[in-house]
A and B are shown apart, each in its own frame.
Chain A
Amino acid sequence: MLDNKYDVVVIGAGPGGSVAARNVARAGYKTLLLEKRERIGYPVRCGEASTNLEDLQTYGPISEDCIETIINGLYIYGPNGVNIEVPKPGTGIMLDREKFDPWLAKLAADDGAEVVTAARAEYVGDVETAGNDGYRKVRVVLGKGNGSGSVTAESTQEILAKMVIAADGVESRIGRMVGLDSIQKPGLTCTGIDFHVKGMLTRPDYLTFWQGHDFINDGYIWSFPKQKSNMTKFGAGFLIPHKNENIFDVTMEWLNKLFPGAEIDHVVGGVIPVSSTLKDYTLDRFALVGDAAHHTNPLTGGGIAAAMRAGRFCAQTVVEGFKNDNLSKQFLKTYEKRCYDYFGKTHDFEYKFRKFLLEMNKEDQIGLYKVLQGFALSGYKKSAFLKTPIQTAKYLYKFAKFKG
Chain B
Amino acid sequence: MKKLVHDKSKCLRCAGCVGVCPKMALDMFGLDLQIDYEKCVRCGLCTNTCPVGALKIAEVDNA
Interface positions of A (Cβ within 8 A of B): 36-38, 43, 45, 118, 120, 141, 143, 145, 148-151, 153, 169-173, 176, 183-186, 189, 191-193, 240-242, 245-248, 267-271, 273
**CB closest chain-A residue, reference B32:** A150
Instruction: Assess whether A170 is in contact with B19, with CB atoms less than 8 Å apart.
Output: yes
**CB closest chain-B residue, reference A248:** B52
Instruction: Assess whether A172 is in contact with B29, with CB atoms less than 8 Å apart.
Output: no
Residues in A with CB closer than 8 Å to B52 are 193, 247-248, 267, 269
Contact check: which of B14, B22, B27, B29 meets A268 at CB < 8 Å?
Answer: B14
Residues in A with CB closer than 8 Å to B50 are 191
Is B57's CB within 8 Å of the partner chain A? no
- Would you give 9 A-B contacts (Cβ < 8 Å), ordered by A? A37-B30, A43-B12, A120-B29, A141-B29, A183-B19, A184-B19, A186-B20, A245-B53, A247-B53
Instruction: Assess whether B19 is in contact with A193, with CB atoms less than 8 Å apart.
Output: no
Indicate the member of A43, A120, A171, A270 with the most B CB atoms within 10 Å.
A171
A-facing residues in B1-46 (Cβ within 8 Å): 12-16, 18-20, 22, 24, 27-32, 45
Contact check: which of A145, A169, A242 meets B48 at CB < 8 Å?
Answer: A242
Instruction: Assess whether B18 is in contact with A143, with CB atoms less than 8 Å apart.
Output: no
Indicate the member of A143, A148, A183 with the most B CB atoms within 10 Å.
A183
Q: Are A153 and B51 also in contact (CB < 8 A) when A45-B15, A183-B20, A269-B16 are?
A: no
Instruction: Assess whether A176 is in contact with B24, with CB atoms less than 8 Å apart.
Output: yes
Q: How far is the CA of A242 from the CA of B47 in the complex (A)?
A: 11
Instruction: Assess whether B12 is in contact with A268, with CB atoms less than 8 Å apart.
Output: yes
